[in-house]
Amino acid sequence: MNIQEIATLGALKKVGYRYRSIKDELRENLITRLHAGESVFHGIYGYEETVVPEVERAILSRHNILFLGLRGQAKTMMARQLVQLLDEYIPVITGSPLNDDPQYPVSRYARELIAEMGDETSISWIHRSERFAEKLATPDVSVADLIGDIDPIKAANMKLSFADEQVIHYGLIPRSNRFIFVINELPDLQARLQVALFNILQEGDVQIRGFNLRIPLDVQFIFTANPEDYTNRGSIVTPLKDRIGSQILTHYPKSIEYSKQITQDQARLTIHQQEIAIPEILRNLVEQIAIEARKSEYVDAKSGVSTRLTISAYESLVSAAELRMLKNGHSYSYARIADLYAAVPAINGKVELVYEGEQEGPAIVAQNLITLAIRNTFTQLFSDPGKLKKKKESSEYAAITEWFGAGNAVDLMDDENDKEHADTLHGIDGLEALVRRHHPAARGAEQLALMEFVLHGLAAHSLLSRNKLTRGIGFNDLFSSLLRAEEEND
């Protein structure tokens, strides 16, 4: 018989069920997982040696937890995944407003029902997926929302006085008894509401209005906060921080490999989009854009640059390739370097600019971030043009620059089909040979992406001129471009 088929308190006693607090439940189930060599979190990368061990220690210590970190650092995602450490099912007194354990009832309703029905008291079962409650701290949150208040309508319907405990309407936290309860953006919670949490965290009980009432709640609290909230919008009052067992600092991925894993896991692509070839160089460039944004003088570093930037940018990149494929009526296509610029709208809303950035404009800053990503990645895959010039060595890019210097120009249009795009790149002297020399294993879409990347990289290092066209990008000789610009000015 499945345990959730047990329907009465008496039957529950017969199977030897024992009550344990949610913190003990998390602790014991974590120990079981660790003995089995199983991971606590899934889809969380780069935290294996930093954040995850701290979370495990906090659970073993039966602490409430504060995740402190910039936006987009998987704070809420980790909190939600802790549900997997709960028992699959737990018993509750049927109809109880506080999810009372049959062996440890805390509400008046449950105590009176057990006193009346005894072993025939009806019980129900709650799956662990239902034992998670979450509240975003906003200015309109009240003590009544979180803790509870007198309900005059209930008092009138039940014909009870306001002094009767039964007229209480319990708030989110009491109704989350034996749950994981998450408060996101804790500093946004008004100071008086933070004070209302003192007793719950320290003594584990709740007091409502003027009632001489103490309810020993059993809640695993998880709080999230952005460090900048301490100065921008509010702060966590010191006594509340003192009552939170563990404060865990999160961080952004420390390598592009971790970033790519996060992006690939979180990007929402259709089955058709998954068939589009995305060269590795483009996956790297998407992550490099976020790295450049976190270093940029135009971007507010204190606000942070969320991993949602790379996820949205990657989705836009794939969609740009898909749009071209649909317009050309083809069943296959690959993403191109120029498709990165289709991600500008996705980047715009993901970075908070300082004053100088606002003066430049979001679109210009986004385009500059893409250029910086190309420039800095270029020297990792090919020889640094600047160093070759300083050493007075003959440039391996000479064949390419001389071809453009002879008056040749290239326009890579957004809508041109794959064959036209490939023919254009193969027609540039020295370009394919350069890529083969540095990346002999590259074939097909990977090779074409690297060939196009060389053009963008040389333009970023001021060896070629790159011009934004109405529906594409043009490349030509830098010197000729400067002369033409001077003639137009004259």
Residue 221: per-residue pLDDT: 95
Tell me the pLDDT tens digit for each residue of 13-72.
Answer: 999 889 999 999 999 999 999 999 998 898 889 999 999 999 999 999 999 999 999 888
pLDDT in tens, 170-210: 889 989 999 999 999 998 888 888 888 888 887 777 776 66
> Is 464:475 a contact under the CB 8 Å cutoff?
yes
pLDDT in tens, 341-372: 999 998 988 888 888 888 888 899 999 999 99
Helices (H), 382-410: 385-390, 398-405
Q: What sign for the dihedral angle of Cα 194, 200, 203, 206?
A: positive
pTM: 0.83
pLDDT given at position 231: 45
- Higher pLDDT, residue 43 or 447: 447
29 to 23, 24, 70, 133, 258: CA distances (angstroms): 10, 8, 30, 20, 28
Let me know if 140 is exposed, middle or buried by CB neighbors in 10 A (0-12, 13-18, 19+): exposed
Instruction: Output the pLDDT for position 118.
Output: 93
Answer yes or no: is pLDDT of 302 > 90. Answer: no
The CA distance from 283 to 259, in Å, is 10
Q: How far is CA 292 from the centre of its chain?
A: 18
Q: What's the pLDDT score for residue 352?
A: 86
DSSP assignments along 110-177, one per residue? HHHHHHHHGGG-BEEEEEGGGSEEEEE--TT--HHHHTEEE-HHHHHHHT--TTSGGGEEE-TTGGGT
Task: Report d(CA 403, CA 393) in Å as an integer.
Answer: 19
Cβ neighbors of 244 (< 8 A, separation 6 or more) are 63, 64, 65, 66, 201, 221, 223
Q: What is the dihedral of CA 233, 238, 243, 244, to 10 degrees?
A: 40
Q: How far apart are CA 45 and CA 47, in angstroms?
A: 6
Q: Is 245 helix (H, G, I), strand (E, B) or coil?
A: coil
Query: What is residue 156's predicted lDDT score, i.e. its pLDDT?
Result: 65
Tens digit of each residue's pLDDT (9 = 90 or more) over 384-430: 887 766 554 567 898 999 999 888 999 999 899 999 999 999 999 99
* Average pLDDT, integer, range 87-91: 94
- Are β-strands 472-477 and 464-469 bridged in parallel, bridged antiparallel, or unpaired? antiparallel
Site of tokens 């003088």? 297
Least confident of 166-175, 210-219, 439-448: 210-219
Tell me the per-residue pLDDT of 139-154, one tens digit each, with 9 for 90 and over: 888 888 888 776 666 6
Looking at residue 415, its amino acid is D
Strands 168-170 and 123-127: unpaired
Pairing of strands 65-68, 246-249: parallel
Query: DSSP character for 101?
Result: B
pLDDT in the model for residue 442:
92
Q: What is the chain's mean pLDDT, rounded?
A: 88
